[in-house]
Amino acid sequence: MNIAGFYPKKFLGQNFLFDDNIKSKIIQACNLSGEDFVLEIGPGTGALTKELVKIAKGVVAVEKDIRLFQILCSTLGEYLNLSIVNQDILKYRISQSNTKVIGNIPYNISSPIIEHLINQKEKISVIYISLQKELAQRIIAKPGGKDYGSLSLFVQYHTSPSIKFIIKSGSFKPRPKVDSAFVELLIRKTPAVSVKDEETLFKIIRAAFGQRRKMISNTLKAFLSAEKICQTGISPSIRPEDLSLQDFAKLADLAG
C-alpha cells in the first residue's frame, strides 16, 4: 500500500481499512450525533476520520506515526472540529467527559489499550473498536470455555461488551492473517458485581487463571484455604474457568 510515498510499518501493527461498506457499518453502529465528542485511535490516513468530523461535535484523532500525523494535518486540517494529536495512545489522557472512543487498534497492543481506556472510564461513555476476532471472543466469553479468562472478567466487570459484526481480513491493507470483529464496550455506571475491594478481586482472578487447569484450592492457596472456599458454597476442586464473576467476588470478599 502506497499513499503519497507512505508504506505501513509492520512493527506498529498498521492495517488500514479501505472497504467503504465496512466504514458505513462502523459509522452506523456508533450511532453518532451532533452532540458527541469522539476520540479516534489510530486514524491512519483519515478514511474514517473524514466521516466522523461530518457528524460529531468534536473529534480528537490520536496518531503515533509522525508520517501519518503529517498526512492528516495536510488533508484534514480544514476541519475546525478536529484536533490531530501525534502521540502514543497509551500515554494519552482523555479530558472531555462523555467521550465516545472509536478505533481500529493494533493487534499487538490491543489488551494494553483496552486496559488504558477502562482506567479512564469516568471520561468515557462507550468504546467502539476493531479487534482481532479471537481477542473479541475472549472479551465476551462466558464461564466454562477456553476463551474465558482474566481479560473476560476485567472487561465484563467494567463494561457490557458485545460483538457488533465481523470484518473479513480482506477489508484491510495490508491484509492481516485473521479476521477482525467490531466490538462495543458500553461503560457500566456501576460495576457488574459488588465487591469490597477491587484490587483483591483482580489479584485473585489473575492468580486463579495463572494456572487455569488446576483446582482453585491450589491456585488460590495464598489467599484462601480450602475450608474458607467452602464457606462461599464454591467447591475447592472447581477450576477457574467454571467460576462466574459473582463467584470471584465472593472469594475476594472472604479473602479481604
pLDDT for residue 2 = 43
Where in the chain is CATH 3.40.50.150? 10-187
pLDDT for residue 10 = 53
Look up residue 134 and give its three cell numbers.
479471537
Where in the chain is CATH 1.10.8.100? 198-255
C-alpha closest to that of 35 among 146, 105, 125: 125
What parts of the chain have a pLDDT lower than 70? 1-14
User: Length of the chain, please?
Assistant: 256
The CATH number for 198-255, chosen from 1.10.8.100, 2.60.34.10, 3.40.50.720, 3.30.70.920, is 1.10.8.100
Question: E strands within the chain?
Answer: 16-17, 37-41, 58-63, 82-86, 99-104, 124-132, 159-167, 172-173, 180-187
Query: Using CA atoms, how far apart are residues 45 and 168, in angstroms rounded to an integer?
Result: 20
pLDDT for residue 187 = 98
75: left (phi over 0), alpha (psi -120 to 50) or beta: alpha
Helix (H) or strand (E) holding 218, with range, is helix 216-219
Angle at 14 between CA 13 and CA 18, to 5 degrees: 140
What confidence tens digit (pLDDT) does each residue in 107-127 have? 889 999 999 999 999 999 999
| Superfamily of segment(s) 10-187 | Vaccinia Virus protein VP39 (3.40.50.150)
